[in-house]
Structure 1
Amino acid sequence: MKKIEKSFFIRTFHINGLLILISLVLLLVRVSFILIESLLQKETIPFLTEYTGIMTKVLGLISNTLDGMILISVATLLILVVPELVLRIVHDSLANWIYSIWVSFRLRKFLMRQADHEGEGIFKLQQHNKAIRKSIIDIKEKKITYFVKLPNDVQAQKLLLESKEILREEISSLFPKFTFSNFDRYKHWLRIEGTKIR
Structure 2
Amino acid sequence: MKKTGKSYFIQTFHINGILLFTSMILVLVRVPFKIIEVSLINETSPSLTEYSKIMAKVLGAISNTLDGMIVLSVGILLLLVVPELITRIIQDSLANWFHSIWVSFRLRKFLIRQADHEGEGIFKLEQHNKAIRKSIIDVRKKKITYIVKLPNDVQAQKLILDTKEILREEISSRFPDYTLSNFERYKHWLRIEGTKMR
What is the TM-score of this pair, normalised by structure 1? 0.97
What CA distance in whole angstroms lies between the structure 1 residues aligned with 2:5 and 2:180? 17
2:11 is equivalent to residue 27 of structure 1: no
Other-structure match for 2:196: 196
The residue correspondences of 1:20-169 to structure 2 (distance < 5 A) are: 20-169=20-169
Q: After TM superposition, give the deviation of residue 177 of structure 1 in Å.
A: 0.5
SS at match of 2:182: coil
Question: What's the RMSD between the two structures over aligned residues?
Answer: 1.0
Q: CA deviation at 1:41?
A: 2.1
* 2:17 aligned residue: 17
Q: Percent identity?
A: 75
- Taking the aligned partners of 1:5 and 1:171, their CA distance within structure 2 comes to 17
Deviation at 1:27, TM superposition (A): 0.5
Using the alignment, how far apart are the partners of 2:27 and 2:19 within structure 1? 12
In structure 2, list runs of 5 or more residues that go unmatched: none
TM-superposed CA distance for 1:4, in Å, is 1.4
- 1:44 CA drift (Å): 1.9
Q: CA offsets, 1:85-127, max 9 Å, x none?
A: 0100110010000000000000000100000111111111000
| Separation in 2, partners of 1:46, 1:61 | 24
Aligned partner of 1:70: which letter? I
Deviation sequence 1:7-28 (CA, Å, 0-9, x none): 0000000000000001001101
Contact 2:5/2:147 (<8 A) preserved: no
Give the deviation of 1:38 after TM superposition. 1.9
Partners of 1:130 and 1:71 lie apart in 2 by 30
Q: Whole-Å Cα distance in 1 between the matches of residues 43 and 123 of structure 2?
A: 53
> How many matched pairs?
197
Q: Secondary structure at the match of 1:68?
A: helix
Q: TM-score, normalised by structure 2?
A: 0.97
How far off its partner does 1:43 sit?
2.0
- What is the CA–CA distance in structure 2 between the aligned matches of 1:5 and 1:139, rounded to whole Å? 13
Counterpart-to-counterpart distance in 2, 1:5 and 1:163: 20
Q: Could you tell me whether the CA contact under 8 Å between 2:128 and 2:157 is conserved in 1?
A: yes
Question: In the aligned structure 1, how far is the partner of 2:100 from the partner of 2:5?
Answer: 17
Code of the residue aligned with 2:120 in structure 1: it is E
Tell me the equivalent position of 1:178.
178
Deviation at 1:51, TM superposition (A): 0.6
Q: What SS does the aligned partner of 1:182 have?
A: coil
